[in-house]
């Protein structure tokens, strides 16, 4: 059985990308909801402020690109584990160029860069769940088997299992890590089915935190010096019942972060950052 990654949840840097004005009109979305650009920008600024000022991370902010309306959702462009960054090949054609600025920034940080050049492969970071022991990769409309294989080739120290994603954009649309060995999971049939597959695939037993709302299961766990276990999660205004479930995590520093407007274009909390742990020798 794989040991828990040393320093799981420890991060020093966060990469984010500013909101383009084109998001309101042109960002991809599964519903037909109108988006208030000002509210999206306010949510983004709050998010960045939490990372930088409340948690003390070094925040690397990439400029918005008006030609890339979804570029604020930077998580989909790269998967970083340890000192290696896999630059993804997004499944949505309109998002392919988002990786250029992300690759340049990760290169400048001194990470080992692996680029997904196989044109038959697709992978978006929203489909990649790293538990500290292994990877689960959602096979969705945006990520395919070949993309999962390239991820497995890139991060050879960890087992990689694939999970079919139904009725959701990404795997992390209804799950994420809420702590070491603790999976936050939504209550829908699709989410519960995916969890069952993950449990069957894994040699490790995970605890689960079941949320009434699938979208609320997308949260961000960190383990930070002088802060301990930290969890960014949904607000009571968005999901009152799910927020009460998070409040049971008495040992965590709980930080509710608003995501109501970005959710209209299928964005979750994890979508807006790539978290990195820079060792001193990099």
Query: HSE (CB half, 13 Å, CA atoms) of 80?
Result: 28
CA distance 154 to 125: 14
Residue 54: strand pairing partners: none
Structure confidence at residue 2 (pLDDT): 60
- pLDDT tens digits along 90-146: 999 999 999 999 999 999 999 999 999 999 999 999 999 999 999 999 999 999 999
Closest of 78, 115, 122 to residue 98, by C-alpha = 78
- pLDDT tens digits along 247-282: 999 999 999 999 999 999 888 999 999 999 997 544
Active site residue ranges? 170, 271
**Residue 1: pLDDT over 70:** no
Task: Point out the annotated binding site for substrate.
Answer: 28, 70, 75-76, 95, 142, 265
β 182-186/175-179 pair status: antiparallel
Q: How is residue 53 annotated by DSSP?
A: I
Average pLDDT, whole number, for the chain?
Answer: 95
pTM of the model: 0.96
Task: Point out the annotated binding site.
Answer: 28, 70, 75-76, 95, 142, 265
């Amino acid at each position: 059985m794989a040991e828990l990654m040393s320093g799981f949840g420890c991060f020093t840097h966060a990469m984010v990308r500013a909101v383009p004005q084109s998001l309101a009109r042109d960002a991809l979305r599964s519903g037909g909801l109108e988006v208030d650009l000002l509210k999206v920008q306010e949510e983004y600024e709050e998010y960045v402020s939490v990372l930088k000022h409340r948690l003390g991370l070094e925040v690397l902010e990439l400029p918005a690109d008006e030609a890339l309306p979804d570029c604020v959702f930077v998580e989909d462009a790269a998967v970083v584990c340890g000192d290696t960054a896999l630059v993804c090949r997004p499944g949505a054609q309109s998002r392919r160029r988002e990786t250029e600025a992300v690759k340049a920034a990760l290169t400048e940080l001194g990470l080992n860069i692996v680029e997904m050049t196989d044109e038959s492969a697709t992978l978006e970071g929203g489909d990649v769940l790293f538990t500290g022991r292994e990877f689960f990769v959602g096979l969705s409309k945006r990520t395919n088997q070949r993309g999962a294989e390239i991820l497995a080739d890139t991060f050879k120290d960890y087992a990689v299992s694939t999970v079919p994603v139904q009725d959701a954009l990404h795997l992390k649309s209804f799950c994420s890590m809420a702590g070491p060995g603790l999976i936050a999971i939504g209550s829908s049939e699709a989410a519960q089915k995916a969890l069952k597959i993950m449990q069957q695939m894994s040699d490790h037993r995970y605890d689960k935190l079941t949320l009434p709302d699938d979208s609320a299961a997308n949260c961000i766990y960190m383990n930070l010096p002088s802060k301990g276990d930290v969890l960014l999660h949904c607000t009571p205004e968005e999901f009152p019942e799910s927020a009460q479930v998070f409040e049971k995590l008495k040992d965590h520093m709980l930080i509710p972060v608003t995501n109501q407007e970005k959710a209209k274009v299928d964005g979750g909390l994890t979508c807006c950052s790539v978290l990195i742990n820079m060792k001193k020798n990099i």
